[in-house]
Amino acid sequence: MGNDNKVSKGLTRRTEVFFRENAVETIERPVLYSLEDEFAKTKKRKNFFVYAGAILFAGALVAVTLIITSEIEQRNSAIKVDVSDFRDLNLTDLLQNTKKDETRLRSLMQEIADLRGNWQLDRQKVADRYVTERDIATIRYSSAADRQRALVQVQGNERAELGGLDARYQKAIAERQREIDEITKRLAGRDKKMVQGAQAMEMVLGSQLKLLEIERKKIEDDWRKRLDEAQQRSRTEAAEQRRLQKKLTESLVLRYNPVFSEPVLKNLVAANPAFPPQAVQYSWQAVLAREGVMDQAPFDALRKNAAEERLLLQRLISVGYTNSVVPALNALGVRQANLIAGYETLWRGLVQRIEQKNARIDSYGRAFSALMQQTREHGYILDTVQPERYPVIVNPAYPVRSGDLAFVIRGENTRIGMVRLERTRDGLVAVPAGAFSAKPAPLDKLLLQLRQASQE
């Protein structure tokens, strides 16, 4: 019929899909053919062709309708819905609030990822700092008990600081997680309302939630990667810091605990003997004072200095030095003990030798005394090696004072000079008093001027 091609485009359906932007795609549908109008125009032409055309038109209309319906169904998956189509369903506000909540949800997830990353970094920094404090405590305290107390204190401080740090980050994360839970509940409630209100939004929201999940997963993976990289950098930096700290500690230890490299010193500390016991010390001998060697007070002072030196060495050894220091201190202790032992043997031997010689001198004195008692001589010159002071011996039967005068007699009655007698620590000596006619010689006799001595 002539009216078969008069199907006009009239019906347009507009729908919307709300992703990250809104757009409107218009799909045109054909206008349905009006049989009443056509029959009104052709009711005067009632013939065979009218019925045939009606039948053909009806068949064409059904075919076109099916084709257009199929095309519309195929395009429904790409339909973009205009918000205005759902104003009657009150979905505009729901979608706007949903978009705000989704934005906030992404921000909260990023904040939680940031917090977790910073949490691990801060924990690593605290742990590294307390590694340094433990090294310092180990070096600082020499006593094992003090060192252990210091290490326990450092461990307690580290545990307390890490506990406060964990509590602070856990609280911040929990606050954001609560807000995430609230937003998730709101989104779930809105999804239910929108599904109940508009079947078309079910597909939209489902796609939107999938996109949100994909974006969340992407954000999570990105932040996990960033966190892993930050942790790796932190571990690398911490390892480098520990290496530098160890190097610094070793340099400080080596500075105050040197290793002797000089051949002489290496030989001295190579044996590393144990600190020796106290050397044997002899008691004070009065002969030292009698012989004019040393009084008891300075002798005791020497003993005191040796004891204090030993005490200082023992205290230094107990500090816990390393490398060559302890062997050097032990070597000092050994040498001090050897010096004290050698000194004790020396002075004790000298005292014994002095006593032996004094005994011999006393025997000589007794022999001269016996001789002078037999010969009734006043005395004799013993030696003339020192011409200004001659050691002499006088008959003990005659009391002599310093300043007494005596003639020097050679032979029976030959007077060769005069001397003045003086008492010293070593005994009597004769000092020439005037000129001599002959040089004095050992065993020249002395003739005391007793009258002059008595007058004095």
**pLDDT per position as a tens digit, 175-215:** 989 988 888 888 777 655 554 554 455 565 566 667 777 87
CB contact at 8 A, 373 and 395? yes
CA nearest to 29, candidates 66, 84, 82: 66
Residues 114 and 224 in one domain: yes
Tell me phi and psi for residue 405, to 5 degrees: -105, 150
Residue 75 shares a structural domain with residue 94: no
**Cα–Cα distance, 416 to 446 (Å, whole number):** 11
pLDDT value at residue 7? 35
Q: What is the mean pLDDT of residues 10-32?
A: 39
Q: What is the pLDDT of residue 266?
A: 85
Q: Cα 317–323–324 angle (5° rounding)?
A: 70
Nearest-CA neighbor of 126 among 166, 86, 158, 148? 158
Residue 239 lies in a domain: yes
134 and 280 share one domain: no
Domain edge (last residue) among 221, 255, 289: 255
pLDDT (0 to 100) of residue 226: 80
Tell me, yes or no, whether 301 and 431 share the same domain. Answer: no
Does one domain contain both 249 and 111?
yes
Dihedrals phi, psi of 13, to nearest 5 degrees: -110, 130
Whole-model pTM: value is 0.47
Within this chain, do residues 50 and 103 fall inside the same structural domain, yes or no?
Answer: no
What mean pLDDT do residues 293-305 have?
A: 90
Q: What pLDDT does residue 192 have?
A: 59
Percent of the chain with pLDDT over 70: 73
Amino acid identity, position 153: Q
Please tell me the predicted confidence (pLDDT) of residue 38: 46
In a domain, residue 342? The reply is yes
pLDDT at 302 over 70: yes
Assess whether pLDDT exceeds 60 at residue 377. Answer: yes
Question: How does residue 426 score in pLDDT terms, banded at 50, 70 and 90?
Answer: confident
Q: Given a cut of 80, is residue 158 above it in pLDDT?
A: yes
| Nearest-angstrom CA–CA distance, 284 and 290 | 12
Q: Are strands 379-381 and 390-394 parallel, antiparallel or unpaired?
A: antiparallel
Residue 314: pLDDT over 70:
yes
Question: What pLDDT is attached to residue 289?
Answer: 86
The verdict on residue 155 lying in a domain is: yes
Q: What is the pLDDT of residue 99?
A: 78
Instruction: Give ∠ CA 141-142-144 in degrees, rounded to 5.
Output: 90
pLDDT confidence of residue 406: 92
Same domain, 31 and 76: yes
Whether 30 is in a domain gets the answer yes
Residue 231 has pLDDT above 70, yes or no: yes
With a cut of 50, say whether residue 305 has pLDDT above it.
Answer: yes
pLDDT, position 4: 42
Q: Which domain holds residue 216?
A: 90-255
Look at residues 52, 81, 110 and tell me which one is the last residue of a structural domain.
81
Asked whether residue 15 is domain-assigned, the answer is yes
Q: Above 50 in pLDDT, residue 86?
A: no
Residue 58 has a pLDDT of 59
pLDDT in tens, 238-252: 888 888 888 888 888
pLDDT (average), residues 86-104: 68
94, 145, 155, 210, 455 from 159: Cα distances, Å: 49, 21, 6, 43, 101
Distance separating alpha carbons of residues 198 and 147, to the nearest angstrom: 75
Residue 371 lies in a domain: no
61 and 124, same structural domain?
no
Largest CA-CA distance found in the chain, in angstroms, rounded: 211
CB 72 within 8 A of CB 178: no
Q: What is the pLDDT of residue 190?
A: 66
**Residue 53 pLDDT greater than 70, yes or no:** no
What does the alpha-carbon distance between residue 328 and residue 71 come to, in Å, rounded to a whole number? 102
The domain total for the chain is 4
Q: Is residue 357 included in any domain, yes or no?
A: no
Mean pLDDT is lowest, of 18-22, 43-47, 148-152, 403-407, for 18-22
Is it the case that residue 253 has pLDDT exceeding 90? no
pLDDT at 444 over 70: yes
Same domain, 130 and 222: yes
Winning range, highest mean pLDDT, from 31-35, 39-43, 142-146, 440-444:
440-444
Give the lowest-confidence range in 209-223, 363-377, 432-446: 209-223
Q: What integer is the mean pLDDT of 357-384?
A: 89
- Is the pLDDT assigned to residue 380 strictly greater than 90? yes
Whether residue 20 is predicted with pLDDT greater than 50 in this model: the reply is no
pLDDT at 270: 83
Per-residue pLDDT, 18: 37
Same domain, 103 and 251: yes
CA pair distance 383, 389, nearest whole angstrom = 9
Whether 224 maps to a domain, the answer reads yes
pLDDT at 166 over 90: yes
pLDDT for the residue 157? 92
Instruction: Give yes or no: residues 94 and 171 share one domain.
Output: yes
For residues 108 and 243, state if they share a domain. Answer: yes
Residue ending a domain, among 56, 81, 106, is 81
pLDDT at 103: 85
Task: Pick the more confident residue, 96 or 156.
Answer: 156
Name the average pLDDT for the chain.
77
pLDDT at 45 over 60: no
pLDDT band at 10, cuts 50/70/90? very low
> Which residues touch 445 (CB under 8 Å, ≥6 apart)?
377, 378, 379, 380, 408, 409, 410
> pLDDT band at 297, cuts 50/70/90?
very high
